Every structure is written in C-alpha cells, then in structure tokens.
Amino acid sequence: MAENKSMAQELLYAPQNGHVRIDTAEEAACAQYCEGYKRFLDEGKTERECVDAAVALAEAAGFRPYERGEKLQPGDRIYCVNRSKAVFLAVIGKESLNSGVQIGGAHIDSPRLDLKPMPLYEDSELAYLKTHYYGGLRKYQWVAVPLELHGVVALKNGEVVSLRIGCEEGEPRLVIEDLLPHLGAEQSKKPLGEAIPAETLNILVGSQPLEGEEKDAVKLRILTILHEKYGIVEEDLISAELCAVPAYRAMDIGLDRSMIGAYGQDDRVCAYAALRALLDTVSPQKTAVCLLVDKEEIGSVGVSGMQSAAFDTFMADLCASCGADRAVCYAHSLCLSADVTAAYDPNFAEAYEKRNSARLNYGVGLCKYTGARGKSEASDASAEVVARVRRMLDDNNVLWQMAELGKVDYGGGGTIAQYMANRNIDTLDAGVPVLAMHAPFETVSKLDCYMTYKAMRALYEEA
C-alpha cells in the first residue's frame, strides 16, 4: 500500500485548497495585501480614477514621469500616462532591453452604464438620465440597485470638471426602477436577456419641480443643482464622459472573511496585483513593465486600448533611451496577461466543465487560451510558455491552477493576450477566478488575490 501511495503521489496531479497549503504568516500577509486592494477598488471606479490612484501609489514608491529622450539607467522607476485612461510603468533592469522585458498587463475598465450625449429628460414630472451600457453586462442585474455617477465634463474653454455623486456618506444615490411583481406577469414570461430592454435603463435623478417654472420644471431643478455645484449647463453634457456604477464599497464576504465582494473586480483585481507587484520590485534582472489599459471590455479599441499604438510608442521610447531595438526586445519578452477567469459555481454547474474550471482558493488561474467556440480570437500560448510559467511559479511558492472559461460552445471571452501576442511577445493569461463576473457585485477569494500578486512579483523578478 505504501508503494502504491508513493506512486500516486509521484504520478497524479492532485491540487488542494490553498488554505491547507499556506502557513499562518502567509495568511496574515494575504489579509494585509487585501486591505490595500479594497482601498484601491473604492478609489477607482472608473479607468480615469484607477489611473489617478495608480499614479499616486507609484509616486509614493519612487516612480517619476518619463520624459521622452532621457537616458535611463538600471534601477530607474518611471511611468507614462496615456490620455488619463491608461498608464505604463517600468523599473529598468540590469540587462539590456534587447534580452526582453517582463510584462504584466491588465485592464482597468469594467462594465457600466455610460450616459448618452443628450441624457437628461423629464417624463410625467420625473427626471431621468438615458444610458448606453458599456461592455458585456446582464441588463436585468442593474435595476433596483443604488448607483453613483462618476466622470468628467469637458467645457468649451478647455476646462475639465470632475464629477462624483453618491460616493460619500450622506450623499444621494441614483437608481433605475424595475416593474413591481404585481404587474410583472408579462415581463416574467420573457427571457432574462429581453426582460429589461436597453432603452429602459434610465436613471431616476429627481422628482421635485423648480419653483416658478411650468415646463420641464423637474429637469430644470436638476440642471440648477448641477450648475450650482459644477458650473455646467445642459449643452456641456455633450462633451462629457459620465457613467453610472454601483454604489457599493469593497467588503469582506463570508463569516470567515475569506472573500471580497465589490464592483469592478474584473479586471481591477488583476490590475492592482500587477501594479502592487511592480511597486514592490526594486532591482530586477530584466526590465519590468506594468501596463494598465482601457477599453478591453469593448474589444481593446481606441487610443487608450491595447490595440492602439500607445504601448508600442512607449516601448520604442524606452528602448531608444536604453540603446535597444524594440523588435528584438519584443521577441525575447514574456507577458502575463493578468485578467480574471470564471470561478466554478456549483449552483450553475451545467455551464462549467468541472475538470478544467478554476476554483476559489486554489490560486492564480492560468488560461492557455480564451476566445469562443474553436478558440476564436485566442492567443493560445505554446506548451513551452506554459511550462516556463509553471516552473517560475513553483520556484517562488505561488499557488496556481489551470482554467477554462466554461464549457466549449457555451460562450467565451477575450483578454488583451491576443494583442500582446500579435506584437511577437510570448503571452499567457493569468488571473483571479471570479464568481458572478460582470455583475454589479462580484466575489473573489482573498487567497487567489494574493497569489496573483505573488505571480506578478515572480514574473518581474525572474532571472
């Protein structure tokens, strides 16, 4: 029997829950790390706010803005902001950039409700804001939920006004109303995807008329409030980027406090891990690069998305400052595309292939390919890249697991991995398993958050 057990231990792959594999000291480190992560979530509910929070943390850790053309030396810590919605950071390593860089990439945009260019209207003496949903969300989840309003209003004189409503204690919240069950018999017959049409996702913002006005008096009162506080008029909303997000603060979940619940954890849970790991990296062998980008939820498009030339420009400047060739650098680089994966949920077991699904508390999830159906739009990392990452994580005592995004043909999803691979950079997806992904309130394991941070540290510090 002993001989059989030894053979089983040698040949079988038998992962275990991470909490039985780590000691008390690492449990404490995990808890401490997650407190900082929760603060980051509360400070950054939009990509602009995430950039501001990331820059503040970076400058506190000794990073400075990069100036094009300056000569860089090993140990230099620099960052570059792209249009207030993305940020690239680097710690210059001891080796030439021609030997490649170690890249941790994540996105900081999340599904939400954007306001339309002409959003404010009045109907039946109620004031509303019209929205256009952003990213892959399930519309029925966004009704009867307290909302905040975040964003900026750009004025014609060049001034940009920041707006945050509902964030602080005592401030009013907003809401999209749902139909009461007493009158909802017909609505209940509809499929989930059709029960709440997109054009009914209208945010209730007021009901009190402005005294002395007869037409659009409730709308005028709302405009008066906005003008008094922010100095804006209705036409200014045309050049605004305003979005509604859930009015939830990040919080512990479970009687054992082993999980975190919050809005926007896809993909800010991985963005914080990639960022925090770089801030804690001091003297890497190869240059370590962290990129936090926008627009992944709608295809990584636009000037702030991963398909833009912004990252290539940053890397070309970096290589020029260090006397290296960008094409050679890319060919020898390794990227962990730090994006979340779906955590196995036994309440919806029919959607998962259990043997190949990530589970809470089993560590960072490695995903060889994402995409949909026949691996469509996936980078599909090579066997050699997967083996290299396995070795790197094991050498640094990082708990990890393999993951797929549900059953074949059940759906699918993408990350920035394919756009990194298109640049001739070896890339593998690695991130935190999430329950209720893209919902207004998502859940993750604290242990998995910490192991993703450790994975990014291992990447940046790989010799």
pLDDT in tens, 46-56: 999 999 999 99
* pLDDT value at residue 377: 82
- Closest Cα partner for 456 from 214, 105, 107? 105
Average pLDDT over residues 268-286: 97
User: What is the per-residue DSSP string for 397-412?
Assistant: T--EEE--SSSTTS-E
Return phi, psi of residue 294, to 5°.
Answer: -110, 170
Q: What is the pLDDT of residues 356-387, one digit of tens each?
A: 999 999 999 999 998 888 888 888 999 999 99
Q: What is the pLDDT of residues 406-459, one digit of tens each?
A: 899 887 888 999 999 999 999 999 999 999 999 999 999 999 999 999 999 999
Q: What is the pLDDT of residues 206-220, one digit of tens each?
A: 999 999 888 999 999
State the Cα–Cα distance between residues 139 and 187, nearest whole angstrom: 14
Q: Where are the alpha helices (DSSP H) in 157-264?
A: 185-188, 192-195, 217-230
Average pLDDT over residues 158-172: 94
DSSP state of 432: -
Return phi, psi of residue 118, to 5°.
Answer: -120, 80
Burial class, 445, CB count within 10 angstroms (exposed 0-12 / middle 13-18 / buried 19+): buried
Q: What is the pLDDT of residues 296-324, one digit of tens each?
A: 999 999 999 999 999 999 999 999 999 99
Q: Taking 80 as the threshold, does the pLDDT of residue 3 lie above it?
A: no
CB 382 within 8 A of CB 269: no
- Closest Cα partner for 379 from 324, 336, 422? 422
State the Cα–Cα distance between residues 250 and 269, nearest whole angstrom: 11
Q: Where are the beta strands (DSSP E) in 34-140?
A: 64-65, 77-82, 86-91, 101-107, 112-123, 126-134
Q: What is the pLDDT of residues 401-418, one digit of tens each?
A: 999 988 998 878 889 999
Question: 415-434 burial, b if ≥16 CB within 10 A, otherwise e?
Answer: bbbbbbbebebbbbbbbbbb
SS3 133: strand
- Closest Cα partner for 284 from 138, 118, 91? 91
State the Cα–Cα distance between residues 445 and 432, nearest whole angstrom: 8
Helix (H) or strand (E) holding 51: helix 47-60
282 φ/ψ sector (left φ>0, alpha ψ -120 to 50, else beta): alpha
CB 272 within 8 A of CB 40: yes
67 φ/ψ sector (left φ>0, alpha ψ -120 to 50, else beta): beta
Rg (CA), the chain: 24
CB 336 within 8 A of CB 455: yes
pLDDT class of 2 with cuts at 50, 70, 90: low
Q: Taking 70 as the threshold, does the pLDDT of residue 185 lie above it?
A: yes
pTM, full prediction: 0.96
Greatest distance between any 2 Cα atoms in the chain: 91
Average pLDDT score over the chain: 95
Q: Look up residue 352 and give its two tokens.
A: 């998962």
pLDDT class of 135 with cuts at 50, 70, 90: very high
State the Cα–Cα distance between residues 88 and 290, nearest whole angstrom: 6
Cross-strand pairs, 243 = 114, 150
**Amino acid present at 159:** E
Average pLDDT over residues 29-48: 97
State the Cα–Cα distance between residues 292 and 106, nearest whole angstrom: 5
CB 265 within 8 A of CB 41: yes
